[in-house]
Structure 1
Amino acid sequence: MARLTGWWTRRSNPEKVELYTRWTYHGLACVAVFIGGMPALAVNREVGPVGGWLFLTVLVHIVLVAVLSSRALSWQLGRRERPGRLAAVIAVLTSAGCLAVLALQRWLPGADLQMTMYVAGGLVSWGVGALALCTVRVRHILGLTVVAVAGPAASAVLLGLPLTSTVAFTFTIAFGTVVFATTSGFSGWLLRAVWELDAAHRLQARLAVAEERLRFARDLHDVMGRNLSVIALKSELAVQLARRGAADRAVAEMGEVQRIARESQREVREVVRGYREADLHTELDGARGVLQAAGIRCRIDLRDAAELPAAAQSALAWVVREATTNVLRHSDARHCHVTVTAEPGDRAGAEARAGVVGRAGAEGRAGAESRAGVAGRAEPGDRAGAEGRAGAESRAGVAGRAHGEGRACGEGREVSGGPVAGSGLAADTMADGGQVVLVIENDGARATGTGGSGLAGLRERLAVLGGVLDAGPVGDDGRFRVTARVPLDGAELRPAAGAPAGKGL
C-alpha cells in the first residue's frame, strides 16, 4: 500500500496543495471539452463547416488556457515572470470566439440557441478563470468579471439579437464567469498562503536553532567571562604581591588562579557536551510557545509528576528540546502531544518477596512488618535506619525515609540518591523507585533518508541515568513518537513544572 501511495505521502503539505490545484485545472480542461467542445460539434451538424471551425477554435482555446493556468500558478509562487503575452493572446481569442458565437446565432437562424450558449459560456468563463490567476488584487478580478459579463451583453445588443437570446447569453456567461473568477482567485490566494505558512514554519525552525546557538553562546560567555575576569584580577594581585616581597601570598593567589582555570575547563566541557542542567518547566513552556508560533497545536499533560529528581528533569528537558526541533524541521505537524508520567515501581512485589518497608518518623520510628522482618526502632540521627532486631532478609533490607536527622537505608542504599551497595542495576532501580516517562507524539512526519545525531546523543545522555529512549513512526498515518524513560532512584526531588505547563491546549 505504501508503494501505491508513496508519491502522495512523501510530499509536504504545500506540495500536496499545489499538486491538487494544478491537477484540478487539468481536470477542468477536460470538462471544458465537454462543456464547450461537444456543443460546438452539435452546432456543426446544423450550420456546416462553420461549426467545425468553431470546434477547432474551442479546442485551441482550451489548450492555451490550460498552459496559461499552469504558468500563472508558477507566477503566483514567484517561480517565473507573469505570462503577460500569453494572457493577452487568451483575452483576444476569448473575445473573438465569443463574438463569433454571437454572430453565428444572429445570422444563422438554424443554430441551436442552447448549444451556442454553452459554447459562449465555456469560452468566456474558462478564459476569465485563467486570466484571474494572472492577478493578485481583488479589484482587478472584480473588474475582469464585470468586463467579461458586460462585453458579451453589449455585443449581443449591438448585433441585434432578440431580447430572449441576449438575456440567455448574458445569464450563462455571467454565471460561469463569476464561478471561475472567484474560484481561480481563491485558488491562487490559497496556494500562496500555504507556501508562505510553510516558509514561516521553516523560518521558525531556523530561529529555534539560532536561539539554541545564542543560548549556548550566552552560557559559554557566562562561564568564561566571569572566570577570566577573576583570573585576570588575581594574576594582577599576585604580581603586585610579588613585587612587594609577599611571596607566600603571591603563591597562594596563583594557586587560586590555577584552581579557577581548572574549574573553567570543567565548566566549558559541560557546556560543550551539553551536560549543564536544563529546566523541564522552561523547556515545556518554550516548546509550547515555539510550536504554537509555527501553527502547531500543542497539548502538555503532567500525570502524577508533581516532583521529579533534578537529574531526571535535566535529561527530559533535553529530550523535549531536541524533539521540538525535530517536529519543526522534519514534519508538517498540526498537532503535538507531550505527556510526562511518573509511574510507581513494583513496591508491592518487593514487599511480597521479602522485606520490611519502613519509614522513619520524626522520633526515629521505622517500621513495617513482612514475612521475614521484625520492625525495629531507629533513633534520630541513625543512618542505618534500623538496629539489632530491625533486621531483614539480605535481598530486601529495610527501606526507610528519615524525617528527623537520620536517614534510613537498606542494603547500603541511601534514599537521598547516594551510592548503591546492593544491586546497583537500573532495572532494580526502576522496580523499586519507579520511573518517569516522557512521550512526545506528533502527526505529519516526513520520511527522511538518514537520521541525525540528536537522538543518538539523547540516548547517551539517558543511558548515564539508566534510562532508555525509543523513537520511530507509529502506524501508517504519519505519526511519530519519542518515548523517554528515566528511573527514579529516590534522588533529591523538585517540582517538575508549574501550573501553566500542566494544562493542555
Structure 2
Amino acid sequence: MWVRGRVRGWRRGWQERSRLERIDLYSRLTVSVMPWLFTLSWDLVPFGTDIRHAPLPLALGSAVLLVGLAQCVLSNRNVQPSYTHYLGISDFPPRRLLAPLVLMLLGLGLLAVLVGVDGVTGDGLLLMTTNAPMPFVITQVLLVPVRAFLVRSLALTALTTGLLAAVGVRDGTLAGVVLTTLFGCLLVLVSVRPSAWSLSVMWQAEEARNLQARLAVAEERLRFGRDMHDVLGRNLAVIALKSELAVELAQRGKPAAVDQMVEVMRIARTSQQEVRDVVRGYREADLRTELLGAQSVLRAAGIECEVAGDGGDALPAPVQSALGWVVREAATNVLRHGDPRQCTIRLRTSADAVVLDVANDGAPRADAAPTGAPPGSGLAGLRERLDVLDGALYGALETDSAGNGWFRLTATVPLPGTRPVRPAFRSAPAPLEETR
C-alpha cells in the first residue's frame, strides 16, 4: 500500500507539471543517472576477467568501486546547483567542489596502486581509467565555459597518463589511456552541455512568453483607462455644468431647472451605455456622430459651435475612430478650460492626409496662465491613438493685440497608401508658440 501510494503521488506530481517543467526534470534526472550507469558498468565489468583474483587486487578494485559510488552521490548533490549556475539563477559554491576533487584524486591513486601490483590489465584498465574522473567532470562541464573545460580535460588527461606511466603502463596501453580519458571528457561535453543549453533556451523562451503576456495585460489596462477617460470626460464635464446651472435656476425659483436636470439624466444614461461598451471592448468612436455630439454638447453649455467639412464618411474606419476620439477630447477641454463663447471644428481631406482643426476663444491670457496644475492624460491618450496611424497632434495658442486668445488643436493623419510625415508634437496647454 505504501509503495502504491508513493507511485500515485509521483504520477500525480508528474501530471501537474508543465511540459517545460517535465523536460527540465527529465534533463536533470538523466544527468544524475549518468555517473551511476558508468560506474556500475565500467568499474564492475573488470571484476569478471581483468582484475586478478587475489585478495589485494580484489580489495583495491573494490575500493576503487566504492570511491566511484561516493563520487556519484556527491555528483547528484551538485546537479541542481550546477544547473542553476548554468542558467544564471545563482552561483555555484566553490567549496562544494572540494570533496568531489579529493575523491577523484583518491580514485586515480587507488587505480595507480592497483596497476602497480599488477592487479588489472587490458580493457579493464581502460574502462576503469575512463570512469575514474567521470562524476567530477559531469559537474565541471556545467560550471565553466567550453574552452576552459577542454583545457581542464587536457590537464586531467596529462595527470592520469603521467600517474599510470609512473607505475609501469607503457606503449599501446598508455596510448589507450590517453584516448579513453579524452573520450570520457568529450562524451560528457557533447551529452550534458547541449542538454543544459537547450533547457536554458526553453526557459528563456518561457520567460519571454510570460513577459509578453504581462505586457499585453499592462497594455490592455492602459487602453481601458484611456477609453474610460475619453468616454466619460466630456459627459461628466457637461453634467457638472448643467448641474450648476440647474442649482442656480432652482434657487431663483425658475422651472427651467427641471429641463436642465432632464438633460443631465439623459447624458448620465448615455454615459452608462458607453461605459458598458468600453467594458465589453466593442466601442469605436464614429467621427460623424462625435462631430454632431460635440456640437450638441457645446451648444447645450452655451458655446456657439460651428462644424465644417464633409463629416469624414469616406475615410477608413481606423482614421475615423482616431479622429472621433480627438473631437471628443477637444470638446472636453473646451468645456473644462477657459470660458469660451465660440468654437469651430473643421475637417479637411486631401489626397494625402486628413486634417482636423478645433479652435475656441476660451484660451487664457498669456499673463494669467495657471501654474502648478497637474497634467492631464487626455492628450497623451490621443498621441497614442494617432501614433498607430503615423499621425501627429499640434497645439498652439494664438493671441491678438488685446491679449485675447484662441487655442487651436490640430490633428493630422496620413491616408493609407501615402508616405507618412511625422512632425514633432507640441504639447498643450503648456506655453506654446504665440503669433500676434
TM-score, normalisation: structure 2: 0.53
Which residue matches 2:118? Answer: 109
Cα distance between partner residues in 2 of 1:25 and 1:242: 84
Measured after TM superposition, the shift of residue 32 of structure 1 is: 1.6
1:82 aligns with 2:88: no
> How many percent of aligned residue pairs carry the same amino acid?
33
> What residue identity is the alignment partner of 1:84?
P
1:148–1:177: 8 Å Cα contact kept in structure 2? no
Superposed CA offset, 1:309-344 (max 9, x none): xxxxxxxxxxxxxxxxxxxxxxxxxxxxxxxxxxxx
Give the superposition deviation at 1:250: 7.2
1:121 pairs, out of 118, 124, 130, with 130
Taking the aligned partners of 1:133 and 1:278, their CA distance within structure 2 comes to 55
Contact kept in structure 1, 2:63 and 2:110, CA below 8 Å: no
Aligned to 2:71: 61
Deviates more, 1:80-89 or 1:119-128: 80-89
Q: CA deviation at 1:38?
A: 0.6
CA distance in 1, matches of 2:110, 2:79: 24
User: Which stretch of the first structure deviates more once superposed, 220-229 or 187-196?
Assistant: 187-196
CA distance in 2: counterparts of 1:29 and 1:158, whole angstroms: 27
Take 1:150 and 1:49, find their aligned partners in 2: how far apart are those partners? 27
Between the aligned partners of 2:178 and 2:284, the Cα distance in structure 1 is 70
**Relative to structure 1, is the Cα distance of residues 206 and 160 closer, same or farther in structure 2, using a 3 angstrom cutoff?**
same
Q: Is the 8 A contact 2:274 2:283 kept in 1?
A: no
Tell me whether 1:134 sits opposite 2:143 in the alignment: yes
Name the SS of the counterpart of 2:143 in structure 1. Answer: coil
Query: Hey, what's the Cα distance between the residues in 2 that align with 1:120 and 1:49?
Result: 17
Mapped partners of 1:271, 1:110: distance in 2 = 85
Structure 2 match to 1:200: 208
Distance 1:126 1:141, change over 3 A: same
Counterpart check, 1:173 vs 2:190:
no
- AA at the equivalent of 1:67: R
Q: Are 2:112 and 2:164, in contact at CA under 8 Å, matched by a contact in 1?
A: yes
Residue 194 of structure 2 corresponds to residue 186 of structure 1: yes
Residue in structure 2 matched with residue 365 of structure 1 by the alignment: none
1:224 aligns with 2:232: yes
Structure 1, 18-27 or 251-260: larger mean CA deviation: 251-260
CA displacement at 1:82 relative to structure 2: 1.9
Residues 183 and 196 of structure 1: CA distance in aligned 2, closer, same or farther (over 3 Å): same
2:368 corresponding residue in structure 1: none
Contact persistence 1:157–1:166 (CA under 8 A): yes
Question: Offset of 1:233 from its aligned partner?
Answer: 4.9
Deviates more, 1:262-271 or 1:251-260: 251-260
C-alpha distance in 2 between matches for 1:201 and 1:217: 24
Deviation at 1:184, TM superposition (A): 2.0
Task: Tell me which residue corresponds to 1:264.
Answer: 271
Give the direction of change, closer, same or farther, for the CA distance of 1:95–1:278 in structure 2 (3 Å limit): farther
Asked if the contact 1:32–1:62 (Cα under 8 Å) also holds between the matched residues in 2, the reply is: no
Is residue 40–residue 52 contact of structure 1 (8 Å, CA) maintained in 2?
A: no
Q: CA RMSD in A?
A: 3.7
- Corresponding residue number in structure 1 for 2:347: none
Displacement of 1:223 = 1.1
User: Counterparts of 1:181 and 1:227 in 2: how far apart (Å)?
Assistant: 69
Counterparts of 1:259 and 1:37 in 2: how far apart (Å)?
90
Letter in 1 for 2:79: S
Structure whose alpha-carbon radius of gyration is higher: 2
Which of 37, 51, 59 is equivalent to 1:49?
Answer: 59
Does the residue aligned with 2:92 lie in a helix, a strand or coil?
coil
Q: Distance in 2 between matches of 1:141 and 1:229?
A: 71
Q: Structure 1, residues 163-200: CA drift from partner, whole Å, max 9, x if none?
A: 32221101001011111033222222222332332233
Look up the equivalent residue of 1:268 and give its one-letter code: V
Aligned to 1:17: 23
CA distance in 2, matches of 1:49, 1:7: 43
Cα displacement string for residues 115-172 of structure 1 (whole angstroms, at most 9, x for unaligned residues): 121111012233211222234x333333333333333234445556313222110100
Q: Which residues of 2 match residues 96-495 of structure 1 at below 5 A?
A: 96-105=106-115, 107-135=116-144, 137-157=145-165, 161-234=169-242, 255-272=262-279, 274=280, 276-277=282-283
In the aligned structure 2, how far is the partner of 1:52 from the partner of 1:264?
86
Residues 278, 124 of structure 1: CA spacing in aligned structure 2 closer, same or farther, 3 A cutoff? farther
1:34 aligns with 2:20: no
CA change 1:24–1:253 in 2 (3 A) is: same
Q: Give the distance between the partners of 2:170 and 2:225, measured in 1 at CA.
A: 81
Q: CA separation in 2, counterparts of 1:202 and 1:275?
A: 23
Residue 234 of structure 1 contacts residue 257 of structure 1 at CA under 8 Å; is this kept in 2? yes
User: Does the CA-based 8 Å contact 2:60-2:110 persist in structure 1?
Assistant: no
State yes or no: 1:93 paired with 2:103: yes
Report the Cα offset of residue 73 of structure 1.
3.0
Q: CA shift at 1:96, angstroms?
A: 3.0
| One-letter code aligned to 1:230 | V
* Residue-pair matches, total: 274
CA contact (8 A) 1:44 1:52 kept: no
1-structure distance, mates of 2:121, 2:167: 17
Residue type at the aligned position of 1:120: T
1:213 CA displacement: 2.4
- The one-letter code of the counterpart of 2:209 is H
TM norm structure 1: 0.46
Q: Which residue of 1 aligns with 2:384?
A: none
Deviation per CA, 1:454-484, whole angstroms, max 9, x where unpaired? xxxxxxxxxxxxxxxxxxxxxxxxxxxxxxx
Cα distance change on mapping 1:134 and 1:114 into 2, 3 Å: same
The CA distance in 2 between the partners of 1:142 and 1:11, in whole Å, is 36
Matched-pair contact (CA < 8 Å) for 1:129–1:180: yes
